[in-house]
């Protein structure tokens, strides 16, 4: 029997992850366990995404408006997955990268994630693959293990992969990173790179790029396709 569900009208509040900032929701997932109906509460849709593999397609997700305590709408897990896939397909590269970085942060900090290693393993492979791409990063290491790195590409995912590759290859004692001020998702990058490098040995600066900086805009092999594949593994 199909669960009785309602889905939101198309508009500002129609998608499952970046719900309108005008409203605040919590997310109740209802599922069957030992012939009983149970519920688990999540604080963000990112937590729901990271836990989707634990639920059946017929389980339901209810968005609860925190301002009045009322149920805003309900959908099945399968419907949530479809809406998420549709949103990823229609999103820009910068939006996909933003979603991925937010998933990494949620995976690290949220107490609701039982298997943090699943996304971490996929992310490790992603960084190793992107870190092999050459071009668009100038770096040198001074005595004492000080890394000076300047990014000439507009991708923080690629920048992060190169930094982590340097971390594996060299004994870095201090990281001095310079990024274009216009690079998308720069604030998220600062938060995510801190998961791997302590603040006390990290400095991130920005510069206004000019023609003499010779910015590199050629496509990065496998990007953002590899990120999309990782997101797809979370919702399959």
Q: What is the pLDDT of residues 177-217, one digit of tens each?
A: 999 999 999 999 999 999 999 999 999 999 999 999 899 99
pLDDT, tens only, 18-39? 444 555 889 999 998 878 889 9
As a whole-number percent, the residues of the chain with pLDDT over 90 amount to 74
16 vs 163, higher pLDDT: 163
At 63-105, the pLDDT tens digits run 999 889 999 889 999 999 999 999 899 999 999 999 999 999 9
Helix axes 93-109, 186-193, angle to 10 degrees: 30
DSSP 208: -
Check: CB of residue 234 under 8 Å from CB of residue 104: no
Contact present, 133 and 157 (Cβ < 8 Å): no
Using a 10 angstrom Cβ sphere, with 0-12 exposed, 13-18 middle and 19 or more buried, the burial of residue 61 is buried
Q: Report how far residue 108's alpha carbon sits from residue 131's, in angstroms, rounded to the nearest whole number.
A: 22
146 token code pair: 């000080």
| All residues at 6 or more sequence positions from 87 whose CB lies less than 8 Å from its CB, including other chains | 15, 16, 17
Contact 127, 161 (CB under 8 A): yes
Q: What pTM did the predictor assign?
A: 0.88
> Which among 29, 193, 17 is positioned nearest to 112, based on CA atoms?
29
């Amino acid at each position: 029997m199909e669960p009785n569900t309602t889905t939101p009208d198309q508009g500002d509040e129609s998608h499952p992850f970046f719900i309108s900032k005008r409203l605040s929701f919590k997310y109740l997932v209802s599922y069957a366990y030992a012939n009983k109906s149970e519920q688990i509460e999540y604080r963000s849709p990112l937590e729901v995404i990271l836990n989707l593999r634990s639920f059946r397609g017929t389980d339901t997700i209810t968005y609860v408006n925190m301002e009045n305590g009322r149920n805003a709408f309900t959908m099945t897990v399968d419907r949530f997955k479809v809406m998420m896939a549709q949103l990823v397909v229609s999103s820009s590269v910068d939006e996909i990268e933003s979603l991925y970085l937010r998933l990494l942060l949620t995976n690290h900090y949220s107490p609701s994630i039982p298997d943090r290693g699943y996304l971490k393993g996929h992310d490790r492979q992603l960084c190793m693959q992107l870190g092999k791409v050459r071009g668009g990063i100038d770096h040198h290491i001074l005595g004492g293990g000080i890394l000076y790195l300047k990014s000439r590409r507009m991708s923080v995912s690629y920048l992060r992969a190169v930094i982590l590759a340097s971390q594996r290859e060299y004994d870095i004692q201090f990281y001095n990173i310079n990024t274009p001020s216009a690079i998308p998702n720069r604030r998220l990058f600062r938060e995510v790179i801190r998961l791997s490098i302590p603040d006390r040995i990290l400095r991130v600066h920005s510069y206004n790029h000019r023609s003499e900086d010779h910015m590199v805009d050629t496509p990065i092999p496998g990007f953002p396709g590899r990120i999309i594949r990782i997101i797809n593994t979370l919702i399959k």
